[in-house]
Amino acid sequence: MEKMAASPTVETTAGIRASSKGSGRSAASAGENPVMSLLKKIFPPLVVFVLFVGGWELIGRLAGMPPYILPKPADIAAAAMENSTNLITSVSTTIVEALIGFAMSTVLGIAIAILLALSKTVEKSVYPYAIILQTIPVVAIAPIIVIWFGAGINAIVIISFLISFFPILSNTLIGLNSTDQNMKNLFYLYNASKLQTIWKLRFPAALPYIMAGLKISCSSSVVGAIVGEYIAGIGGGQGGLGYGITVAATRLQTPYLFACGLAASVLGIAFFLIINMISNKLLQSWHESAMK
């Protein structure tokens, strides 16, 4: 009987020791140097990047391929430096077009999603046409957009908007419809109006979905701006990255073509990182996806 009585005490003591060890580890991890933590995140992808670029440069030199077929990283860097003025101008133009298109898609996507969420009848009536709009190739309707809005930044912004609009609409609507039913019943018991329920309950609950849609659309807006520049862009000193890629391809300036493509990629990544930072700021205090 004494042995049986003593066993819970032993188990409890062991549990306390394990808990103290776990808390010690947590305290140690919490007290970790921020610089070391940042290096741990950056170092692995940095090693892969160095190995990839170094291998590309080495293979290009050993194979002896001419730059117009497969340029080496050194050729791409040299082309970017030689055409730095044109490249900066092209990037600036594409940034403006993508930002306007993304802003339009954000405002209209969230607003229309809220209107659809207020009424199931309206949602069933309108949402299928949003899906149809998304499935139509932009290239097929681009000539109509140019006829209606004219060549240049107006048509490019509309094309960027069309490509980045649907992810925001779809994700926002899913988030608004995924609100906990018990919470909606509670608001109903307190006689909250539909607008109050949307603003105080459903919209905050849908915020993770909205941010997910923004992460998709911010990169899509850059793609849409470049596609718009292919179809309806203007050249000369006002041309964006799409115009720069087109000119480089026709002149077989492959290193500069790669430089423009990489600039577009970096631009899309920068947009994504900015939205991701905003998302973490908004969600880190309450949502598991952003909590550390």
For residue 4, pLDDT over 80 is answered with no
* Of 35 and 79, more confident: 79
Label residue 31 by pLDDT band (50, 70, 90).
low
**For residue 1, pLDDT beyond 70:** no
Residue 185 and residue 40: Cα distance in Å, rounded?
46
- Cα three-residue angle 146-127-103, rounded to 5 degrees: 50
Which residues does 274 contact at the CB level (< 8 Å), separation at least 6? 218
3-state helix, strand, coil in the chain (%, to 5): 85, 0, 15
The mean per-residue pLDDT over the stretch 176-203 comes to 92
Q: What are the CB-based long-range contacts (under 8 Å, 24+) for 47-51?
A: none
Band of pLDDT at residue 53, cut at 50, 70 and 90? very high
**Residue pLDDT, tens place only, 115-145:** 999 988 989 999 999 888 888 888 888 888 9
Is 253 buried (19+), middle (13-18) or exposed (0-12) by CB count in 10 A?
A: buried
pLDDT at residue number 133 = 83
Question: Rounded CA gap, 29 and 27, in Å?
Answer: 5
User: What is the per-residue pLDDT for 64?
Assistant: 87
pLDDT of residue 289: 73
> Residue 105: which pLDDT band, with cuts at 50, 70 and 90?
very high
Looking at residue 55, its pLDDT comes to 95
Task: Please check the confidence at residue 17 and state whether its pLDDT lies above 70.
Answer: no
pLDDT score, position 266 = 95
How does pLDDT run across 217-255, given as a tens digit for each residue? 999 999 999 988 888 766 655 789 998 998 899 898 999
Q: Is 90 exceeded by the pLDDT of residue 207?
A: yes
- pLDDT of 18 strictly over 80: no
Count Cα atoms within 13 angstroms, Cβ side, for 277: 6
Angle at alpha carbon of residue 249, lines to 68 and 158, rounded to 5°: 150
pLDDT for residue 236: 56
CATH T-level assignment (fold) for domain 73-283: MetI-like fold (1.10.3720)
Q: Are 124 and 134 in contact (CB under 8 A)?
A: no
Interhelix angle 84-118/203-232, rounded to 10 degrees, is 140
pLDDT at residue 136 in the model = 86
Query: CB within 8 A of 38, min separation 6: which ones?
Result: none
Residues 6 or more apart whose Cβ sits within 8 Å of residue 55: none
- What residue ranges do the domains of the chain occupy? 2-31, 34-64, 73-283
Report the C-alpha gap between 122 and 115 in whole angstroms.
Answer: 8
Query: Is it the case that residue 173 has pLDDT exceeding 90?
Result: yes
- Reported residue count of the chain is 292
Specify the higher pLDDT residue, 277 or 4.
277
Work out the pLDDT band at 13, boundaries 50, 70, 90.
Answer: very low
What is the tens place of the pLDDT at every residue in 70-90? 999 999 999 999 999 999 999
